[in-house]
Every structure is written in C-alpha cells, then in structure tokens.
C-alpha cells in the first residue's frame, strides 16, 4: 500500500506546519492560555484565511472537499504545536453534525461561517454522569408549539465559553440510557436560560459547564433520531484526535532525544547509557505504532457507518491512548525533575497527551467497545 502524500496533501501539510511554527512558540502559547479566550483569536482567523477551517466541507459550502487524511494532516501539525484552538470541536465535530443532520438553511447559514472561521461552534454531548456513554442523556427538551425548551446540565464543553453556537444533545423520548429518543439542538449561548461556568483544563485549554433552564433551542434533524449521527461524527473526531496525538508524541520524542544527547552525567551524555537508549527506542516504537493506527483511523473516518468501522476506530483509539500515555510518562522519566516544571515545554506535551487519552473514551472503554464487536465463530 502506498502511503505517500499527494502533491496537494503535501502542500496542505507544509502550510499548516509553517503556520504553527511561525505563530505557536512555547512562550506565545503560555500567553494564549492565560488570555480570556484561552487561545489565540488571531491564529483562529489565520486558520480561516488560509482555508484550513474549510478543508472538511464540500465545495458547495465554501470548503475544499477534504477527507479524513486531510484532517489528520492538519491535526498532526496542531498537535505538534499543542495548539489551544478548538479546531476538532468546531470544524470536525460540530461541522460534521450540522452537515449530516442540518436542513439546507442551517447548512448554508452555519457551515459557511464555520468554514470561513467567522463562527466558532462547540458541542455539548457529555454530562456529569455519562462517562463516555454519549447515549446517557438526562438533559430534556420539550416542544412548545414550533419551539423547543431545554433543561439540564452539560459537562466539559471545550470551547463552549467562546462559541457563537453550541450543539446540545437532549432527550425528547425514552429512558435515560436509551439510544433512541435523543435529539440535537442549536442554542445561542448568550440566550435566556443559558449559564456557563468557565474553567481551565489540565492541559491549558478552557472549557465550561453548561446549565440550561428552559433555554430555547433549534432542532437539528428529526426529533429522537440524533444518536446515530452523534456516534458517526464521534468516530471522525476520534480519528482527528489520533492525528493530534501523533503530532504531539513526535515532538515529545524529539525533545527527549535532544535532552539525552545534551544532558551529561559522569562526564558523558546520558544518552550513552544503554538502558536509556532502550527506553528511547521503546518511545519511538510506540510512536510508529500509533502513527500506523492514526493513518488507519483517517482512512476510515468518512467511510459508511458500520460495526466494522466502529470497531477499527476503537482499536485505533486504544492503541493511540496507550502510546500517548507511555510517551508522556517516559518523556517525564527520562528528563527527570525538569519535565515536571511549568517553564519546560515537555510537561505541557505530556499533559496534552494524557488528556487526549481520555477524550471520547480511554483505553479501557475502547477495548471493551472493540471486544463487543468481535464475532465468535
């Protein structure tokens, strides 16, 4: 199988890499993290101006018609810079849900704005008690004539504090853990009945808890039929996260190798010690294994929904989760105490890798999901 990039894909990768390299120095990232937005609004505008926020969308909606591989190339470079912008949440997940469920008017109004970078959207799917199970929805929606009122609480809405629109899952029928009866709604985060509690995450990003008290929402798609789309688009988000993790792991490995070459003990670089060489080899081996699974996930991301697709995406996330955590741990161990300091960038790569391993399911969750798909002959 030929894994070489096309000329267009190589240009896309080079554009994203150059933008991240020029803008996202480690010192700048700390400033962006401390800002009110929690990321660089200027960098977000540059992503839009260069067309990077339009890659996954069709040409009719102002996009470039890119697929999972193109998204992976962008996410890998964003991971290399441990960029704080909610690209996956807004472009991949929110954009994908609107594209799959929205009517023509909703697609025209929202996807064009997301593709241009003018609109930053967020998605509120998780709740305090859901624990990776996106069908565990206690937030409710009641229809009042032609309008809908939402009440409930959503947790860990990354980018929700600055979003212009938030997509919220709510139950319109069935019991709390039924897969049927879940609907998606578009809400105005500044509207009546919407309260946000903003906080910083471990990896330097910002998110919020969302409290809804008879908040007005606009139905996306058909009532009660949103879960299949949520599951499918979550798979695309998982593939994007795998790409981001590979980018962050590669830099973490490079930082560690450089440290082993320069840090001296007993008069020689510590990289001369065989046991540390073996650990470094293990880190790179995990990186290469994760890279192959990220490529698999990217190639499957836009395939037709099926049990086989879901199983392979779970397998990819499982392998990438394990690799990300291992690389983060070994990066800290081989650096020593400096890797735990706020001033050293290695600590921030480790934190982001650990957080990626928990987004959309940790390794235990995906191992169980994969095993449930196995058919015993």
CATH number of the domain enclosing 217: 2.40.110.10
Range of lowest pLDDT (112-126, 303-317, 332-346): 332-346
Residue 160: predicted pLDDT: 96
Query: Which one of 209, 224, 239 terminates a domain?
Result: 224
Global model pTM greater than 0.85: yes
Query: Which one of 90, 105, 120 terminates a domain?
Result: 120
Query: Once rounded to an integer, what is the mean pLDDT over residues 336-364?
Result: 93
Query: Once rounded to an integer, what is the mean pLDDT over residues 247-267?
Result: 92
User: Domain check: are 234 and 115 in the same one?
Assistant: no
Question: Domain range for residue 253?
Answer: 228-373
CATH number of the domain enclosing 24: 1.10.540.10
Looking at per-residue pLDDT, the higher value among 59 and 148 belongs to 148
Residue 266: predicted pLDDT: 84
**Segment 206-245, tens digit of pLDDT:** 999 999 999 999 999 999 999 999 999 999 999 999 999 9
Query: Once rounded to an integer, what is the mean pLDDT over residues 254-280?
Result: 88
Number of domains in the chain: 3
In a domain, 285, yes or no: yes
Residue 376: predicted pLDDT: 45
In a domain, 241, yes or no: yes
Residue 377 has pLDDT above 50, yes or no: no
Confidence of residue 375 (pLDDT cuts 50, 70, 90): low
Query: Once rounded to an integer, what is the mean pLDDT over residues 328-349?
Result: 92
Residue 272: predicted pLDDT: 75
User: Domain check: are 213 and 305 in the same one?
Assistant: no
What HEC string does the chain produce? Answer: CCCCCCHHHHHHHHHHHHHHHHHCCHHHHHHHHHCCCCCCHHHHHHHHHCCHHHCCCCHHHCCCCCCHHHHHHHHHHHHHCCCCCCHHHHHHHHHHHHHHHCCHHHHHHHHHHHHHCCCCEEEECCCCCCCCCCCCCCCEEEEECCEEEEEEEEEEEECCCCCCEEEEEEECCCCCCCCCCEEEEEECCCCCCEEEEEEECCCCCEEEEEEEEEEEEEEECCCCECHHHHHHHHHHHHHHHHHHHHHHHHHHHHHHHHHHHHCEECCEEHHHCHHHHHHHHHHHHHHHHHHHHHHHHHHHCCCCCCHHHHHHHHHHHHHHHHHHHHHHHHHHHHHHHHHHCCCCHHHHHHHHHHHHCCCCCCHHHHHHHHHHHCCCC
CATH number of the domain enclosing 244: 1.20.140.10
């Amino acid at each position: 199988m030929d894994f070489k990039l096309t000329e267009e894909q190589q240009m896309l990768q080079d554009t994203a890499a150059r933008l991240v390299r020029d803008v996202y120095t480690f010192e700048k990232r700390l400033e962006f993290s401390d800002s009110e937005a929690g990321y660089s609004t200027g960098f977000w505008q540059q992503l839009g101006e260069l067309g990077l926020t339009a890659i996954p969308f069709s040409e009719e909606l102002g996009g470039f018609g890119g697929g999972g591989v193109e998204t992976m190339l962008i996410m890998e470079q964003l991971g290399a810079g441990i960029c704080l912008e909610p690209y996956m949440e807004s472009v991949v997940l929110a954009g994908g849900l609107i594209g799959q469920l929205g009517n023509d008017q909703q697609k025209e109004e929202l996807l064009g704005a997301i593709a241009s970078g003018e609109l930053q959207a967020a998605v509120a799917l998780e709740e305090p008690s859901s624990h990776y199970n996106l069908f565990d929805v206690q937030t409710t929606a009641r229809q009042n004539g032609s309008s809908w009122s939402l009440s409930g609480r959503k947790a860990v809405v990354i980018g929700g504090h600055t979003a212009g629109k938030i997509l919220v899952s709510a139950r319109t029928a069935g019991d709390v853990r039924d897969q049927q009866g879940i609907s998606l709604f578009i809400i105005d985060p500044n509207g009546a009945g919407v309260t946000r509690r903003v906080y910083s995450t471990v990896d330097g990003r910002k998110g919020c808890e969302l409290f809804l008290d008879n908040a007005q929402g606009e139905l996306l798609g058909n009532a009660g039929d949103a879960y299949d789309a949520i599951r499918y688009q979550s798979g695309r988000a998982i593939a994007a996260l795998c790409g981001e993790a590979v980018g962050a792991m590669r830099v973490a490995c490079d930082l560690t190798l450089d440290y082993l070459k320069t840090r001296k003990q007993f008069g020689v670089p510590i990289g001369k010690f065989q046991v540390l060489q073996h650990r470094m080899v293990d880190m790179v081996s995990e990186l290469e294994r994760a890279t192959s699974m990220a490529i698999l996930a990217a190639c499957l991301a836009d395939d037709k929904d099926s049990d086989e697709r879901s199983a392979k995406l779970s397998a990819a996330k499982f392998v990438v989760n394990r690799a990300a955590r291992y690389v983060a741990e070994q990066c800290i161990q081989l650096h020593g105490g400096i890797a735990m300091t706020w001033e050293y960038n290695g600590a921030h790569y480790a934190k982001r890798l650990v957080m990626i391993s928990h987004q959309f399911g940790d390794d235990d969750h995906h191992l169980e999901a994969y095993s449930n798909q196995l058919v015993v002959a």
